[in-house]
Amino acid sequence: MERTTLDLWVGAFVVAGIGALVVLAMKVGNLSTYNVSESYQLQAYFDNIGGLKSQASIKSAGVLVGRVTEVRLDTDSYKARVTMNIDKRYQFPKDTFANILTSGLLGEQYIGLMPGGDTETLKNGEIIKKTQSAMVLEDLIGKFIYSKAEGSNEGSK
Amino acid sequence: MPVARSLRNIGHRVVNAVWRAGFAARFFAMTLLYSGTSFRRFHLVVREMFSSGVMSLIIILVSGMFVGMVLGLQGYETLKRYGSESALGTLVALSLVRELGPVLAALLFASRAGSAMTAEIGLMKATEQISAMEMMAVNPIARVVAPRFWAGVISMPLLSAMFSAMGVFGGYVVGVVLIGVDEGSFWSQMQSAVDFQHDVLNGVIKSFVFGVAVTVIALFEGYDAPPTAEGVSGATTRTVVQSSLAILILDFILTAFMFRGD
């Protein structure tokens, strides 16, 4: 008699614990929105990736389509090679443009994919050829000051 | 010869500590070796899960709720300065799932269930129940220690998941219901920032490791306690102190491995 009520309590405990895990996975985590298993890999070379990290999101038109799996320096060209996992449901044309963008002013960096007009699509393991590097704030400020200085020089002549 | 005596004292302590560490390692190996019984007679584990897991539920749920509420309040006050209150959900969920859930649940588990395990086994030894089992050719490690070990190891990740879920709910109550942060951005920013594998699963792994550490320390201290009232009380204190230290040190090591930020 005592064992059955005890079993009930322990069973409820285990169910509640697993339920909490499911809540964490579905409601708190993003397991419901992004499935890792059905994906293909693409690669892209960037001159400068800024603060891009692995696990950063990949978006097209603002929709999450994949994640960055690996960032490393390619020692042949001294460019950054970024490996991306893209959801199988989304196919991109061969002339897709990959930009490194920032969400908000100080937010996380992510890769934005802008599809081109090519009829052929990128296959697993292929390389995105058209890329644009991250905006580095120091470079922008440097360029701004340089152009300002040049402008004032011309004005004085 | 006070110098010689103090030197002898230090040496004695060191040798004693090494001896105890060796015994603890052998004890852990024996527990794993003889845990077949606890799976063949699973009701032994279920009974221990009741006393260590189910009985810890109230303290875990209430603490989780309040920790989440405090996080919601403090996080809101800080984030408001940068005008990014919508990141409150991310802050609450990430800090709970990655760190506070596993660590605080393990600390509470160590003081709530670990100390009870030590006291129980220490008293069993003091009242010679353990020796009586050996007399009857019942292996006390298989019958008494291993079920408690597995009960702790199974309960710990479940408790920490409940702690985190409760904490997120507490943060939601304070942030969205009481303060009035936008509900949509609270959940959507949380979901885009928290990764299942990277954050939730690593939290589960952490709490599993803490569960092993806490139960092994608690059971070993009880098994090794001098069979006196004083010995048992000292062992209970040592359980809480050592397992708390072990949790925090292990947390640092695990965090260094898991979230190096590549």
pLDDT tens for B4-58 read 899 999 999 999 889 988 998 999 998 898 888 888 888 888 888 888 888 899 9
Average pLDDT over residues A97-113: 80
Q: A interface toward B at CB cutoff 8 Å?
A: 3, 6-7, 9-10, 12-14, 16-18, 20-21, 23-25, 27-31, 33, 36, 53-55, 57, 64, 71
C-alpha to C-alpha distance for B151 and A76, rounded to whole angstroms: 54
Task: Evaluate if residue B156 carries a pLDDT over 90.
Answer: yes
Higher pLDDT, A139 or A19: A19
Higher pLDDT, A100 or A37: A100
Task: Evaluate if residue A9 carries a pLDDT over 60.
Answer: yes
pLDDT at position B84: 80
Q: What is the mean pLDDT of chain A?
A: 82
Average pLDDT over residues A47-74: 84
Q: How confident is the model at residue A3 (pLDDT cuts 50, 70, 90)?
A: low
- Judged on CB neighbours under 10 Å (0-12, 13-18, 19+), A71 is middle
Minimal Cβ distance to B198: which of A6, A17, A55 = A55
Mutation for testing the B interface, residue in A7, A24, A31, A34 having most B CBs under 10 Å: A24
Average pLDDT over residues B192-200: 81
C-alpha to C-alpha distance for A133 and A115, rounded to whole angstroms: 17
Residues of B in contact with A13 (CB under 8 A): 49-50, 53-54, 57, 155, 158
Q: Which two tokens stand for residue B51?
A: 């006393």
Residue type, A114: M
Q: What is the mean pLDDT of chain B?
A: 90
- State the smallest CA–CA distance between residue A121 and chain B in angstroms: 27
> Are B50 and A3 within 8 A, CB to CB?
no
pLDDT at position A2: 57
Average pLDDT over residues B116-125: 92
Q: Confirm if B165 and A24 have CB atoms less than 8 A apart.
A: yes
Q: How confident is the model at residue A1 (pLDDT cuts 50, 70, 90)?
A: very low
pLDDT at position B58: 92
Mutation for testing the A interface, residue in B71, B200, B207, B208 having most A CBs under 10 Å: B200
Give ipTM to 2 decimals: 0.76
B93: nearest Cα among B193, B197, B205: B193
- State the smallest CA–CA distance between residue A31 and chain B in angstroms: 6
> Are B262 and A71 within 8 A, CB to CB?
yes
pLDDT at position B206: 94
